[in-house]
Amino acid sequence: MGDVVNLLDHDLDGLSAYCEGLGEKRFRATQLFRWIHQKGAKDFASMTDLAKSLREKLAGRAEIRGLPVLTEQVSSDGTTKWLFDVGGGNAVETVFIPEDDRGTLCVSSQAGCAVGCRFCSTGHQGFSRNLSTGEILAQLWFAEHRLRERLQLPAGERAITNVVMMGMGEPLQNYSALIPALRVMLDDHGYGLSRRRVTVSTSGVVPMMDRLREDCPVALAVSLHAPTDALRDELVPLNRKYPLDELMAACKRYLQAAPRDFITFEYCMLEGVNDTEEHAQALLTLVHGRGEHRVPCKLNLIPFNPFPASGLQRSSRERVLRFAKVLQDAGLVTTIRKTRGDDIDAACGQLAGEVQDRTRVGERMKRLPVPIVPLGVK
């Protein structure tokens, strides 16, 4: 017998093809899919209305392979962080953020990240490997069913209403694993989340933004963090490959597939680096003023969560408010992200997991000075 197949690696089409290979019809695959994702079944014996013949075929050939949980931490505000073991000395983090009207799960797509953004503790850890579809989905599968149990939700009520691919990793650099995972999130037989409640966050991998638009146009967030190429080159090194003009044009193309949507631009506020009123004006010029590249968008300002290796500081509250006012006065919808789960290091940019760096990105980043780039430099 060959390798044991992890059924979490498949979207519904993939699972149907697998079941067909076992001589089973598609509706059987749908039943199986619902048992796994809607009911959180861990083994075939518990799938009581699934034909016994299929359960017997699956036993020994396939499994529902979750990830070992290393730790579970619950913050005083209810934010929950799990550390999952993905083997080889690597661990990834997943965070649940409860709010009055929603429950958001922040999911990781890679062990580490090769992009190396200056303000991101994942970036400082370097990169080990991509997660599989099954490893991405295992985070949601586990969290949903764990939370239902912990919160004692009535049958049929979901704990997780939104997913953001904003944990460790650049999801668009793990595209082939990402797409089936997104399809399971959207599938009515899976998690049944609407397209607008699943967000992919990217640092700006332009060709993959175009592919995502064609394959699965979910909500898109772009890590912007700087209004000029000179500064963004320093903060988000991927900018050297895909500079702002190309990025803005890709954002605009993206919205052609989802015309009633908008792009969320993430902007991490770094004291003395990107947080002056002049930076805010330059940001307005970028998103509003570059002629044909005007992009329907919202701005999300993120107070930086300092960590020692970054050498960077969080902007003061006054500076953040002043920055936000410039944008709001110009009619740009601007929010300031509330810091959640601070006491368990679960806030944005603090997810570090454990990464066996294969790229030495982390090493190189330790030696970088604080980027001070005059605004006149484009």
Alpha carbon 153 to its chain centroid, in Å, reads 25
Contact call for residue 365 and ligand SF4 (CB under 6 A): no
Give backbone dihedrals phi and psi of 155, rounded to 5 degrees, phi first: -50, 135
Q: Binding residue per annotation — 120?
A: yes
Q: Binding residue per annotation — 103?
A: no
d(CA 161, CA 347): 19
Alpha carbon 127 to its chain centroid, in Å, reads 16
Query: Can you tell me whether residue 336 is helix, strand or coil?
Result: strand
Residues in 66-95 at the binding interface with ligand SF4, rule: CB under 6 A: none
Q: Binding residue per annotation — 132?
A: no
Residues in 3-62 at the binding interface with ligand SF4, rule: CB under 6 A: none
DSSP character for 155? T
Q: Binding residue per annotation — 19?
A: no
**Burial class of residue 367 (count of CB atoms within 10 Å of its CB; 0-12, 13-18, 19+):** exposed
- Is 93 in the active site? yes
Residues in 220-279 at the binding interface with ligand SF4, rule: CB under 6 A: 223
Nearest to 234 by CA among 347, 108, 377: 377
Contact call for residue 116 and ligand SF4 (CB under 6 A): yes
The footprint of ligand SF4 on this chain (CB under 6 A) covers a number of residues equal to 12
DSSP character for 243? -
Kind plus residue range of the DSSP H or E element containing 131: none
Contact call for residue 139 and ligand SF4 (CB under 6 A): no
Minimum CB distance to ligand SF4, residue 170 (Å): 4
d(CA 271, CA 110): 29
Residues in 140-199 at the binding interface with ligand SF4, rule: CB under 6 A: 168-170
CB closer to ligand SF4, 174 vs 223? 223
Single residue of 6, 130, 203, 300 touching ligand SF4 by CB under 6 A: 203
d(CA 176, CA 182): 11
Q: Binding residue per annotation — 225?
A: yes
CB closer to ligand SF4, 36 vs 117? 117
The one catalytic residue among 93, 135, 144, 354: 93
User: Looking at the annotation, which residues are catalytic?
Assistant: 93, 348
Residues contributing to the annotated binding site: 113, 117, 120, 169-170, 201, 223-225, 305
**Residues at the site binding ligand SF4, with contacts judged by CB under 6 A:** 113, 115-117, 120, 122-123, 168-170, 203, 223
